[in-house]
Structure 1
Amino acid sequence: MLNKKRNKLLFLTLTASLSAASLAACSPQNQSDGKTAGSASAPAPAASASTQAAAPKPQLKSLQIWQKDDYNTYPVAKFLEEKTGYKVQYDMLPQDKPQDKLNILIASGEPYDAITTTGTTDFKALYSDYAKKGALTDLGPLIDKYGPNIKAAVDPAVLEAAKIDGKLYAIPTKSIPNVIASLYIRQDWLDKVGMKAPTTLDELVEVLKAFKEKDPGGNGDKNIPFTIRGDNFFVDNIVGAFGMPNFWNDVNGKLTPRIMDPAYPEYVKFMSELFKQGLLDKEFAANKDATAKEKFTSGRAGMILMNWSDVPNIADALTKNVPAAKALYIPALKGKDGKLGLSATQGFDRITYVPKASKHPEDAVKWLNAKLEPETFKAMAIGEENKHYTFKDGQYSPINPIFTDERNQANNFLTGSDDKNYPTYWQARVRKDMRLFDAWNFINRTEPANTRISDPLGFAPYLPEFSKSFQQLNTMVGDYTTKLIFGAEPLSGLDAFIAKFKAAGGEASYKEVNDWYAKAKK
Structure 2
Amino acid sequence: MKNKKLLAVLPVMTLLISTVVGCESGSKKEGQPTSTAAATPSASPVTLTVEVFDRGVQGQPDLNNNTWTRYINENFGKPNNAVVKFVPVPRSQEIDKLNVLMAAGEAPDISFTYDSATVSRYAKVNGIIQLDDILAKHGKELTNYLGKTVLSYGLFGGKQMAIPAKRTSLAWNGMFIRKDWLDKVGMPVPTTRDELYNTLIAFRDKNPGGVDRVIPWGLAATGMNYNYGNLGESFWGKQSEEEFVTTPSWLRPGNKDALKFLNKLYNEKLISPDFALDKTAKQADADVTNGKVGFLIANWDYPLRQSISEPLKANVPNANFVPIDTFKNSEGKYKKIAYNENGVNIFIPKSSKNAELAIKYLNWMSDPKVLFFLQYGQEGVNHKMVNGIPQVINQTGDNMQTSNLNLDLTLVVNGVELGDPQKNIKALAASAPGLEDAAEKSYKINTTDTYTNFFYDTPSESNIKFGKTLGDMDKQMTDKLIVCKPAEFDSLYDKLVAEYMAAGGQTVMDENVKIYKAMQSNKK
Q: TM-score, normalised by structure 1?
A: 0.71
Query: Residue 240 of structure 1 is aligned with which of 210, 214, 233?
Result: 233
1:382-421 equivalence runs, <5 A: 382-385=376-379, 388-393=382-387, 395-401=389-395, 405=399, 410-417=406-413, 421=418
Closer, same or farther: CA 381–514 of 1 in aligned 2, 3 Å: farther
* TM-aligned CA deviation for residue 458 of structure 1: 9.6
Deviation per residue, 1:378-417 (Å, 9 max, x gap): 3344334555434454533223258981766643333424
Contact 1:72 1:90 in 2 (8 A): no
* TM-aligned CA deviation for residue 190 of structure 1: 1.1
Aligned counterpart, 1:56: 40
Matched, 1:441 2:437: no
1:66-465 equivalence runs, <5 A: 66=52, 67=54, 69-71=62-64, 74-79=67-72, 81-82=74-75, 85-95=79-89, 114-120=109-115, 125=118, 127-212=119-204, 214-218=206-210, 224-231=215-222, 235-243=228-236, 252-275=243-266, 278=268, 280-281=270-271, 283=273, 288=278, 289-307=281-299, 308-311=301-304, 312-346=306-340, 349-356=343-350, 358-359=352-353, 361-385=355-379, 388-393=382-387, 395-401=389-395, 405=399, 410-417=406-413, 421=418, 428=427, 431-434=430-433, 440-444=439-443, 446-447=444-445, 449-456=447-454, 461=459, 463-465=463-465
Aligned counterpart, 2:9: none
Higher helix share: 1
Contact 1:115 1:354 in 2 (8 A): yes
Q: For 2:269 and 2:138, locate their aligned partners in 1 and report how far apart those are by CA, in whole Å.
A: 60
Deviation per residue, 1:360-393 (Å, 9 max, x gap): 5445434432332333333344334555434454
* TM-aligned CA deviation for residue 223 of structure 1: 5.0
SS at structure 2 position matched to 1:266? helix
Q: For 2:99 and 2:489, locate their aligned partners in 1 and report how far apart those are by CA, in whole Å.
A: 45
Contact 1:345 1:458 in 2 (8 A): no
What is the letter of the counterpart of residue 507 of structure 1?
Q
* TM-aligned CA deviation for residue 261 of structure 1: 0.9
Contact 1:385 1:391 in 2 (8 A): yes
Q: TM-score, normalised by structure 2?
A: 0.71
Closer, same or farther: CA 367–496 of 1 in aligned 2, 3 Å: closer
Q: For 1:366 and 1:218, locate their aligned partners in 2 and report how far apart those are by CA, in whole Å.
A: 57
What is the letter of the counterpart of residue 464 of structure 1?
I
Q: For 1:272 and 1:166, locate their aligned partners in 2 and report how far apart those are by CA, in whole Å.
A: 44
Closer, same or farther: CA 414–458 of 1 in aligned 2, 3 Å: farther
What is the letter of the counterpart of residue 414 of structure 1?
T
Closer, same or farther: CA 183–78 of 1 in aligned 2, 3 Å: closer
Contact 1:228 1:287 in 2 (8 A): no
Q: For 2:424 and 2:74, locate their aligned partners in 1 and report how far apart those are by CA, in whole Å.
A: 22
Contact 1:227 1:303 in 2 (8 A): yes
Closer, same or farther: CA 434–478 of 1 in aligned 2, 3 Å: same
Q: For 1:266 and 1:302, locate their aligned partners in 2 and report how far apart those are by CA, in whole Å.
A: 24
What is the letter of the counterpart of residue 413 of structure 1?
L
Deviation per residue, 1:286-339 (Å, 9 max, x gap): 563444455555555432334433544444444444443333232243132214
Q: Cα RMSD between the aligned structures? A: 4.3
Contact 2:481 2:493 in 1 (8 A): no
Contact 1:226 1:279 in 2 (8 A): no
Contact 2:40 2:81 in 1 (8 A): no
Contact 1:198 1:207 in 2 (8 A): yes
Q: For 2:169 and 2:466, locate their aligned partners in 1 and report how far apart those are by CA, in whole Å.
A: 23
Gaps of 5+ in 2: 1-36, 55-60
**Range that drifts further, 266-275 or 422-431:** 422-431
> Higher RCO, 1 or 2 (CA under 8 Å, sep at least 6)?
2
Larger Rg: 1
Contact 2:429 2:436 in 1 (8 A): yes
Report percent identity of matched pairs: 26
SS at structure 2 position matched to 1:449? coil
* TM-aligned CA deviation for residue 90 of structure 1: 2.4
SS at structure 1 position matched to 2:190? coil
What is the letter of the counterpart of residue 416 of structure 1?
V
What is the letter of the counterpart of residue 373 of structure 1?
D
* TM-aligned CA deviation for residue 487 of structure 1: 0.3
Contact 2:166 2:412 in 1 (8 A): yes
What is the letter of the counterpart of residue 454 of structure 1?
T
Q: For 2:389 and 2:424, locate their aligned partners in 1 and report how far apart those are by CA, in whole Å.
A: 8
Deviation per residue, 1:460-490 (Å, 9 max, x gap): 8563144143234314531452256x40414
Closer, same or farther: CA 271–129 of 1 in aligned 2, 3 Å: closer
Deviation per residue, 1:254-277 (Å, 9 max, x gap): 33322211011332343344456x
Q: For 2:240 and 2:466, locate their aligned partners in 1 and report how far apart those are by CA, in whole Å.
A: 15
Closer, same or farther: CA 414–216 of 1 in aligned 2, 3 Å: closer
**Range that drifts further, 434-443 or 259-268:** 434-443
Q: For 2:98 and 2:262, locate their aligned partners in 1 and report how far apart those are by CA, in whole Å.
A: 43
What is the letter of the counterpart of residue 268 of structure 1?
L
Matched, 1:65 2:73: no
Q: For 1:415 and 1:159, locate their aligned partners in 2 and report how far apart those are by CA, in whole Å.
A: 14
* TM-aligned CA deviation for residue 200 of structure 1: 1.3
